[in-house]
Amino acid sequence: MRVAINHETIYRYRTETNYSVQYLRLSPTSGTSQRVLSWKLSGPGNLRSWTDGFGNAAHVLVIEGPHQEIRIKAVGEVEIADLAKPLLAEQEPHAPELFLRQTRLTESDERVVRFAGGFKPAVSGNPRKGLDSLVAGIRQSIEAKPGQTQSPSTASQALDRRAGGCQDQAHLFISCCRSLGVPARYVSGYLCSDSQEESGMSSHAWAEAWVDGAGWFSYDVANRMSNAKAHVRVAAGLDYLDAAPVRGLRQGAGNEEMEVEVTISDARKLKPQRDQQ
């Protein structure tokens, strides 16, 4: 599958600000199950690239001088492999055990531990099938509400509310895995599937869990998918804060509004149209 992605994020401030810094994780890299054919990231200020501690391609955007709006645009084409393959330990900058570490967003309280405990026999007996059962169990317990993804909740809050978006469901899955002794991490990127249930999303989030002797497998709770060939993987980390597409700070400017628009198309259908121009 070859997809064309156009992702634009716009920040608008009620009053003028003189200084903004945005940390961007909007650039996918080629790997086992995907190949980046082209990618361009643009913004209104000085854009500096770097590689973060999790191996993600990251950028820092610094804007100096008066402004009331920031437009950040990522455009490119990615080819997704016909067969989704697990990521292996030797392809990673850290050992899987790092992803047993709990964070504020994934910390397990008594309720989460009890919920996860119900899947312990299945996960211990057959990790792949057991983790699929955990995905199904979370979807039965957490009503999908995509609008809540703008402000990610902790795993415990999602379980208490029994509702949440893809970010919240991923946090709960990760928290359950870690409480069961299974390394798990948060992944941000894009879902390229006509059957997606979480419609209207600006970008997507899922999780990866480590299966001993096999590697890292993806688990998309929001869409009941495991190791599907429908994801463009952009960034990964312990939780949302490590892999958010855009995070930043500014001096002053009062309240802000954020608008995000993402379009994902079949690149093979778009190519002839471009050639005619």
Mark whether 148 and 207 lie in a shared domain: yes
CB neighbour list of residue 125: distance below 8 Å, 6 or more residues apart: none
Range of the domain at 216: 84-243
Mean per-residue pLDDT for 113-138?
96
Look at residue 122 in the predicted model and tell me its pLDDT: 96
CB neighbour list of residue 90: distance below 8 Å, 6 or more residues apart: none
Mark whether 233 and 250 lie in a shared domain: no
Confidence class of residue 16 from pLDDT cuts 50, 70 and 90?
Answer: confident
pTM: predicted TM-score of the whole model, two decimal places: 0.90
Mark whether 146 and 123 lie in a shared domain: yes
In terms of pLDDT, which residue wins out, 152 or 134? 134
Mean per-residue pLDDT for 201-229?
88
In terms of Cα–Cα distance, which of 190, 187, 138 is closest to 164? 138
Residue 67 tokens, joined: 């402004």
Look at residue 146 in the predicted model and tell me its pLDDT: 62
- Cα Rg of the chain (Å, integer): 19
Look at residue 273 in the predicted model and tell me its pLDDT: 38
Share of the chain above pLDDT 70, in %: 90
* CA pair distance 86, 217, nearest whole angstrom: 5
pLDDT at residue 196 tops 90: no
Look at residue 254 in the predicted model and tell me its pLDDT: 65
* CA pair distance 30, 76, nearest whole angstrom: 13
* CA pair distance 98, 107, nearest whole angstrom: 15
Amino acid in the structure at residue 231? H
CATH number for the domain that contains residue 138: 3.10.620.30
Are the CB atoms for 27 and 59 separated by under 8 Å?
yes
